[in-house]
Amino acid sequence: MKNFLLFYKSSSISGKISMLMIALVFFVAVFGTAFSRHSAFVPSDSAFVPPNTEHLLGTDDLGIDLWAQICEGAKLSLTIGIFSALLSGIAGSFIGIICGYYGGFFDKFVMRVSDILIAIPSLPLMIVMGVFFGAGIQNIIFVLAVFSWTGPARIARSKVISLKTEKHVLVAESYGAGIFYLTFRHFLPEIFPVVMVSFIRLVNRGIVSEASLSFLGLGDPTAKSWGLILNHAISFKGIYFTDFWKWWLVSPFAAITLTVLAISFIARDAEKFLDVKL
């Protein structure tokens, strides 16, 4: 907590605003559905009601309240972003530590696999995997993690390779310290800041990828994600000739843009604060 306050103080103005913004998104995600008067799933009015006091952001083609859907979308985006980043960050760091520490065949193998994952364009393969695994939220998180673990893994690996030859590590080793001890005592504290920054960036990547997939109509269509609302709006026939876009298209657009920007500003400040360069 103390660290966080320090971080907050050291951030730039844009960073501070961003943090407030993300706090707001969190708030909306957790409590938004409780506060909004309408359901995000049941039509509560006629279709295409413009924004008013009853419906803050108006309603969509089925007459479902858009504000409630945006809240629901916030929940979804954050869940997907954070969990996919957690999964890939943790798995990636440990794989990286093992590779860096032991080297050898496993290391070579993992590095080849990550080469392949980098060589195959991720979006197309995500489309294929999305089709294969089906479109549940867990599946999307899993698929995103499959493509994102290589980043943290490479960072952790190179850090461990250089740490491995440092004196205090060598001494600990000579006393019979195993990889678990070394990991928790020496490696993790060292790689934590770097992985932290990459974690924040991965959250962003998760949110963006989910939105892209939903936008292509390949996400989970029953979940109310921002990308999906956008997809519904843009593929609505005659969207150019009606006024519906003013609320139907703009609100998910703004939600994605602001969230992603805020997170990236935080990542930039975190980079400075933790003094790491990716």
Partner 1 sequence: MRIFRKRIPEYLITLFAIITLNFFIPRIMPGDPFTFVSSEENSVSTVYTDEEVARLKAYYGLDKPLPEQYLNYLGNTLRGDFGYSIYFNDTVLNLVGGRIVYTLPIAISSLLLSCLLGCLIGCMSAYKRSGIFDRVSYALITIFSQIPSFLIGVFFLFFLAGKLGWFPLSGAMKAFATYESGFEKLRDILYHAFLPVLTLTLAHIGEFYLLSRNSMISVLSKDYIVTARAKGLLKKRVLYVHALKNAMLPIITRLCMSLGTIFGGAVLIENVFNYPGLGTLMRQAITYRDYTLIQGIFLFFAFTVLVMNMIADIIYGKLDPRVEL
Partner 2 sequence: MRNLGKKILLPILALSMLLSLSACGSKTGDTGDQESKSPVESSQANNDREEPLVITLSGGDCGYPSPYLHYSRGPGSFKMRLVFDSLLEHGEEGLIPWLAEDYNISEDGLTYTFKIREGVKWHDGEEMSPEDVLFSFEYQTANPPVGGISTALGKENNIITDMTIDGNNFIVTLSQKSAAMLNNLGSVRIIPKHIWENVENPKEFTDEVCGIGCGPYMITEYNKEQGTYKFEAFKDYWGQNQEVDVIQFVPVSDGILAFDSGEIDLTGITPDVYEKYAHSDEYKIINNPGFWGYKMGFNLEKAPALQDINVRKAIAYAINRTDLIDKVARGAAILPGEGYIPQQSVWYNKNVKAYEFDPEKAKDLLDGKTYDFKLTISSSNDEVRMAELIKLNLADVGINITVESVDSKTRDSMYKNGEYQLILNGYGGWGGDPELLLSQYAYGAIPGYSNEQINKLCDEQLLETDQAKRMKIVYELQNVIADEVPQLPLYNTTGMSVYRPAKYDGWTYMFDHHETTHPKISYLAEK
Q: Which residues bind partner 1 (CB under 8 A)?
A: 14, 112, 115-116, 118-125, 127-128, 131-132, 204, 208, 211-212, 215-216, 230, 234, 240, 245, 249, 253, 256-257, 260-261, 264-265, 268
Report if residue 61 touches partner 2, rule: CB under 8 A: yes
The dihedral sign for the CA sequence 52, 54, 56, 60:
negative
Report if residue 261 touches partner 2, rule: CB under 8 A: no
Which structure tokens are listed for 70? 């945006």
Close Cβ partners of 107 (under 8 Å, ≥ 6 residues apart): 99, 100, 157
Q: How far apart are CA 149 and CA 114, in angstroms?
A: 9
From the list partner 1, partner 2, none, pick the one residue 208 interacts with, judged by a Cβ distance below 5 to 8 Å according to partner type. Answer: partner 1
From the list partner 1, partner 2, none, pick the one residue 222 interacts with, judged by a Cβ distance below 5 to 8 Å according to partner type. Answer: partner 2
Report if residue 50 touches partner 2, rule: CB under 8 A: no
Report if residue 124 touches partner 2, rule: CB under 8 A: no
Tally of helices (H runs) and strands (E runs) in the chain = 13, 0
* Nearest distance in Å: CB 124, partner 2: 14
Report if residue 231 touches partner 2, rule: CB under 8 A: yes
Q: How far apart are CA 92 and CA 221, in angstroms?
A: 29
Q: How far apart are CA 188 and CA 160, in angstroms?
A: 9
Residue in the block written with tokens 């980098």: 118
* Nearest distance in Å: CB 247, partner 2: 16
Closer to partner 1 at the Cβ: 39 or 264? Answer: 264
**How many C-beta atoms lie closer than 10 Å to residue 261's C-beta?**
15
* Nearest distance in Å: CB 42, partner 2: 6
* Nearest distance in Å: CB 58, partner 2: 16
